[in-house]
Structure 1
């Protein structure tokens, strides 16, 4: 009898969570400084959620610790849907990069939805001797190119390893604290190559301030005419998507997760938002990966995939 009453009570209480949610402003934690692509996605979605729920959704930038400081902040928050997490591919790579994490990625987080993704572009300084991808590869075989990336485990960092592996070359890894200083050093001629998201360099490419030698997708991009597919040229390992995911705590009531997912699905009906994403080279995920279950399955697959890349290349995060 007690067991029956407990089940009945849960059945009554859970829908009430969704009806009353949110009861106060909601924090969207971004594990990077303001201004980067993940921060931009969070700030594009926040007003859509605010309008849907009638409460403020506030973006909070919690940078540092290879994004794990932010992860710990979210994992330890109350599981009531008032602290959300917008992250990218690095959340899957960190599982294998770090010997220990202050949370269990698959057990402590509940995916809400896969948000969007875009390929990366291989960017070079404008006075680099090479003009085409074959010329660049020939140059890289005789020069240990200085390639920048925004930190251990970042998408750009992993893409740099995969590029060097595919080309059979060695490169000099130059870590930066974000994409902005990498771009500035490339514009100044101090950095030779780096991987960027399309939105980070489309203006500089159009003005001739940088070169783009290739794109990490099976198809080319109208934003970068003349830039070939790195996948077509050097194989499927260079089919790399920079993706975004929305997460919350695993113990968050399912009706709240469903309500948040519904708000995200509604946001995708906004033609202006989709236009902004398209102009930035981003596209939403297929419907089956925009559900909590689909997002969880995709995250699990990405953890396995990037774990293999990390192990094959002996990549490890610093221990100090």
Structure 2
């Protein structure tokens, strides 16, 4: 009799454990969530993070606190989330640099494919080359010619950012020359450009859309295959004499590896719902984003494709960060 009773006890314990797991997932979230943003306030990553955080807080009944941890091309924030407890309360607002940095830096403290659980890709967009209005260059051709005749400073959201890499690709393609000025995010780069402290910036299109429309900056070209609906008058690099030149930027949410699947599914569903809200979709589209919500597997596939792609691009561009 003792053996059956022992088996029954084990089965009972297993059943209780199985019941406890869904209960734990249902209890989430039981405290505020943290959105870790790898750049300084401003630019394009930060405003989108705050927009989603505001709506997600209403949906989950808990505050969603946006924390900016800029530096090292995003690596500080990436490592912070990779090492965080996988309880669904710490999330990374990730973008291209998560996949690019392992090719740019001699060492990074994370693996983009093993250390994160993709939640959802939120948007994609173009990179944009903008110059200060006083610069004597109204077209891409004029700008490139100017770089060969005089010293030009070109800023980016940071070493290893996709804006930096797009600029290096352009430089390698056309033989232009400029001094690269890295910033801790698109916001500080834009502020210095508007103030006239630098000549140009390569950054994500939505960070500059309103400044271009207001005439504070002049846009020369976008990096996508087609023109951006938010700035339809701005030609593509391909139209400007560089056929085949294309760089598309993305943003998304990721959790630490090991986060419960039920939490990932809930987050995915809530953020997809938020992106589909008419007022949110209209705002993002007007800024230059294309909302592209999908399952977690879609962002995982994007990362799996990007990580092996960038080392060859980095080598071609000659970009390297010490």
1:298-309 equivalences in 2 (<5 Å): 298-309=302-313
Distance 1:143 1:225, change over 3 A: farther
1:170-249 equivalences in 2 (<5 Å): 170-232=177-239, 233-236=241-244, 238-249=245-256
Which range is displaced more, 71-80 or 152-161?
A: 71-80
1:158 aligns with one of 162, 165, 175: 165
The residue that corresponds to 1:314 in the other structure is 318
Distance 1:3 1:167 in 2: 70
Alpha-carbon offset, residue 225 of structure 1: 4.8
The residue that corresponds to 1:260 in the other structure is 267
Alpha-carbon offset, residue 177 of structure 1: 3.1
Give secondary structure in 1 for the equivalent of 2:88. coil
Distance 1:72 1:7, change over 3 A: farther
Instruction: Give the length in aligned residue pairs.
Output: 314
2:45 aligns with one of 35, 38, 59: 38
Distance 2:274 2:17 in 1: 30
Q: Structure 2, unaligned stretches of length 5 or more?
A: 1-6
Alpha-carbon offset, residue 270 of structure 1: 1.0
Distance 1:78 1:146 in 2: 41
Distance 2:10 2:132 in 1: 68
Distance 1:240 1:11, change over 3 A: farther
Distance 2:12 2:253 in 1: 34
Give secondary structure in 1 for the equivalent of 2:76. helix
Distance 1:7 1:106, change over 3 A: farther
1:1-320 equivalences in 2 (<5 Å): 11-143=18-150, 145-232=152-239, 233-236=241-244, 238-285=245-292, 290-318=294-322
Distance 2:13 2:248 in 1: 45
Deviations 1:211-266 (A, max 9, x none): 11111112223543532111343133x32222111100111111111111111121
Alpha-carbon offset, residue 144 of structure 1: 5.2
Alpha-carbon offset, residue 195 of structure 1: 1.3
Q: Is the 8 A contact 1:14 1:255 kept in 2?
A: no
Distance 1:314 1:137, change over 3 A: closer
Alpha-carbon offset, residue 3 of structure 1: 10
Q: Is the 8 A contact 1:18 1:259 kept in 2?
A: no
Alpha-carbon offset, residue 274 of structure 1: 0.8
Give secondary structure in 2 for the equivalent of 1:74. helix
Distance 1:278 1:85 in 2: 23
Give secondary structure in 1 for the equivalent of 2:276. coil
Which range is displaced more, 302-311 or 254-263?
A: 302-311
RMSD of aligned Cα (Å):
2.4
Alpha-carbon offset, residue 180 of structure 1: 3.3
Alpha-carbon offset, residue 11 of structure 1: 4.6
Distance 1:315 1:204 in 2: 29
Give secondary structure in 2 for the equivalent of 1:51. helix
